[in-house]
Amino acid sequence: LIITYDSQSPTPVLTTTATTPTLDTPFAYTVTFDEIVTGFEEGDIDISNGTISAFSGSGVSYTFNVTPIEFGNVSVEVPAGVAIDAAGNPNTAATQLSIVYYDKVLNVPSVFSTIQSAIDASVNGDTVLVASGTYTENINFNGKNIVVGSLYLTTQDTDRKSTRLNSSHVVI
């Protein structure tokens, strides 16, 4: 008589074909477990700023799409304990994935924490919109044809003192 004891929890890996930032929707995702699981359902996936569709799969592989609700970060995660293996062990949590969905306007600091990170994510023709505050960083436009501006661009706020850039190095 041979008895096998399985105490290992199944481990999910969450992947996507989407790049960040992006305008392309929906985002396609795959969850791959390292062993066969049961009980994994559409409602088990935690999504911030998005809706799920086209959920399918069984065993070790599941796929689904996520469509953003609004511009900004879209986060997807598979929490611990939503599926079990044949021995009844609950899964571990998958690493959360976040995709930035934007429409040619990259917002600092609500979506991008720095002006430079927004510039790095931009493409020619984009606008980096900077909220009120003081930003101390060096800026490199990397040769991009973009607009970097304060909220005046959208609100016509004439208080130009509300957004300041303290920089000793600006490269265009």
Model confidence at 172, pLDDT cuts 50, 70, 90, reads very low
pLDDT for residue 146: 85
Give residue-wise pLDDT tens across range 142-154: 888 888 887 666 6
Model confidence at 169, pLDDT cuts 50, 70, 90, reads low
Q: What's the chain look like in SS3?
A: CCCCCCCCCCCEEEEECCCCCECCCCEEEEEEEEEEEECCCHHHCEEECEEEEEEEEEEEEEEEEEEECCCEEEEEECCCCCCECCCCCECCCCCCEEEEECCCEEEECCCCCCHHHHHHHCCCCCEEEECCEEEECCEECCCCCCEEEECHHHHCCCCHHHEEEECCCEEC
What tokens does 15 get?
């992947």
Q: How far is CA 54 from the centre of its chain?
A: 19
Contact at 8 Å (CB) between 31 and 55? no
pLDDT for residue 32: 98
Global confidence as pTM:
0.65
- The alpha-carbon radius of gyration of the chain (Å, integer) is 22
Q: Kindly state the average pLDDT of the residues 117-138.
A: 86
Q: Kindly state the average pLDDT of the residues 108-125.
A: 89
Q: Which comes out higher in pLDDT, residue 28 or 149?
A: 28
What is the rounded average pLDDT for all residues in the chain?
87
Q: Which comes out higher in pLDDT, residue 54 or 23?
A: 54
Cα–Cα distance for residue pair 160/130, rounded to 1 Å: 12
Residue 89 has pLDDT above 60, yes or no: yes
Q: Kindly state the average pLDDT of the residues 5-13.
A: 94
Model confidence at 20, pLDDT cuts 50, 70, 90, reads confident
Judged by phi (left if over 0) then psi (alpha if -120 to 50, else beta), residue 101 lies in: beta
pLDDT for residue 147: 84
Give residue-wise pLDDT tens across range 37-88: 999 999 999 999 999 999 999 999 999 999 999 878 899 999 999 999 999 9
